[in-house]
Amino acid sequence: MQEVKFQDAAYRNPFKMAQEQCDNCAEFLNLDPGIHAIIREPMREIHVSIPVRMDNGTVKVFKGFRVIHNNALGPAKGGIRFHPEENIDTVKALATWMTWKCALLNLPLGGGKGGVICNPKELSKGELERLSRGYIAQLWQFIGPDTDIPAPDVYTNPQIMAWMMDEYSKIKGKNQFGVITGKPPVLGGSAGRGDATARGGMYTLREAAKVRGLDLSKATMAVQGYGNAGYYAALLAGKLFNTRIVAISDSSGAIYNPEGLDAQRVFEHKSSTGSVAGFSGAERISQDELLELKVDVLCPSALENSINVKNAHNIKASIIVELSNGPTTPEADDILFANDVHVIPDLLCNAGGVTVSYFEMVQNTSMLYWEEEEVYRRLDKKITAAYHEVLKTSFKYKINMRQAAYIVAVKRVEEAIKLRGWV
C-alpha cells in the first residue's frame, strides 16, 4: 500500500486512526467512492443520559453511547465498556474495527460498540446494577437479537451482561437470552467464552511462530495489561506452549523477572492488592521498559496507542500479539514492518472473543449447547484459517499483516454492499 504520512505524535485519535486505515485500504483497492464513503462513517450513533440513584440517595447522571458502524453482513455485534475515560471517538473506532473483525472471521455480523463514562471501581454492586439496567432502559429500542447484540468489554463482565439481558427481557415481556452475549453459562452463556479472546490470540501466535521458526517452548513473552485478555494470555502461553512469561504490567505498574513469572500467582497478587506491582521476586520496571524488553513475543493487552512513533524503533520482540484494540498507530506499523517485526493485528488476533460470542448466539437460537472442547475446536479452525488468509494476502502484495487483514475484510463488506444495492 502507498505509505501515508502522519504528524509526529504519540497519541492518535482512535477514530481518525481507524478512518486513515480504511482510507489506505480503499486507495489500495481502488474502492468505489460511494462504498468508501459508506464504510468511513458509522451508520448510527446514539448518545444517552442515564440517571442512577446512588447509595447515598442522590441521583447521578452518567453519559453513555452505542454506535453501529456497518451492518451489511448482518446485525451489529460489539462490547460495552465501562471506563472513566470513555469517549465517543473511541466507541466509533471500536465499532469500526468490529466491522472488519467480523468480516475477517467470515461471521454474518456487522460492527457495533457501546460505552458508559464511569469508574466501576468506585461503584457499589447495587449502583453498578442500576447503571447497567439504566443503560438498557435508554437503548432497548435500538438493540436486539436481529439488530445489535452487545457483549462484555473493558470493566464489564458476565454479571453485568446478566443484568442487561434481564432488563431487556423485562421490557420485552419474555426471556431474550440472545440479546446479549458473554452471559453466565446458566443464562445461556457459551462454554469457553471467558478465555476466548486470549485463546484465539494464542492460536494465531502458534501459527506465527511456525512462520518465524520460533520454538515457543524456549521463547519469552512480555504481557502489557493484566485484565481478562492479558491474564489468560499469560496463563495459556504457559499451559499450551510452555512459554516463559518474564514481564507483566497493569495500569498501576509493571514487573520483570528474566527467570519467569507464575501467571496465576501474579493474578492472585493483583486480586488481593489491586495491582501486579509489589509482586514478590520481581523487579519493578516502567510501562515503557516493558514494551522495549528484549523478548520473543510482546502481547499488548491494554488500551489504544501503546506502540507509537516514539517507541516503535525500540521494540525488540519478534512477534507482537495484539490482544487489545488499536494498540499500534499507523506510523508505528510502518516502523515495525521495516524492522521485520511480525505483528498479528488486533482485527485478527483478538477476534476470538467475537467469534465465541457468535457461537453463543448460534447456541441461544438452537437451544443446543456445546461442550468446551467443541467451542475451542471451532474457534481454532476459524481463526487459524483467517490467519493464513491474511498471511497469504500479506505475501502476495508485500504489505504488513494489518493492511492485509483490511484488504480481506473490506472486500467482503464491499461485496455485501454491492449485492444489497446500497450503491
Residues that are catalytic: 113
Grid coordinates of 38: 459508506
Grid coordinates of 108: 454474518
Backbone conformation region of residue 68, classed left if phi is above 0, alpha if psi is from -120 to 50, else beta: beta
User: What is the spatial distance between Cα 66 and Cα 46, in angstroms, rounded to a whole number?
Assistant: 5
φ, ψ for residue 75 (rounded to 5)? -60, 150
| Cβ atoms 278, 203 nearer than 8 A | no
- Give the H or E element holding residue 26: helix 14-29
Sign of CA dihedral 342, 348, 349, 350: positive
Residue 48 makes CB contacts below 8 A (sequence gap 6+) with 63, 64, 65, 66, 135, 138, 139
Grid coordinates of 156: 464489564
- 235 to each of 42, 182, 245, 352, how far by Cα in Å? 36, 20, 9, 16
Per-residue DSSP letter, 277: T
Nearest to 364 by CA among 152, 138, 193, 139: 193
User: What is the spatial distance between Cα 382 and Cα 279, in angstroms, rounded to a whole number?
Assistant: 37
Burial of 395 (C-beta count, 10 Å sphere; 0-12/13-18/19+): exposed
φ, ψ for residue 326 (rounded to 5)? 65, 35
Q: What angle do CA 246, 230, 324 make, to 5 degrees?
A: 120
Please report which residue ranges of 281-371 form alpha helices under DSSP H: 287-291, 330-338, 346-349, 352-366
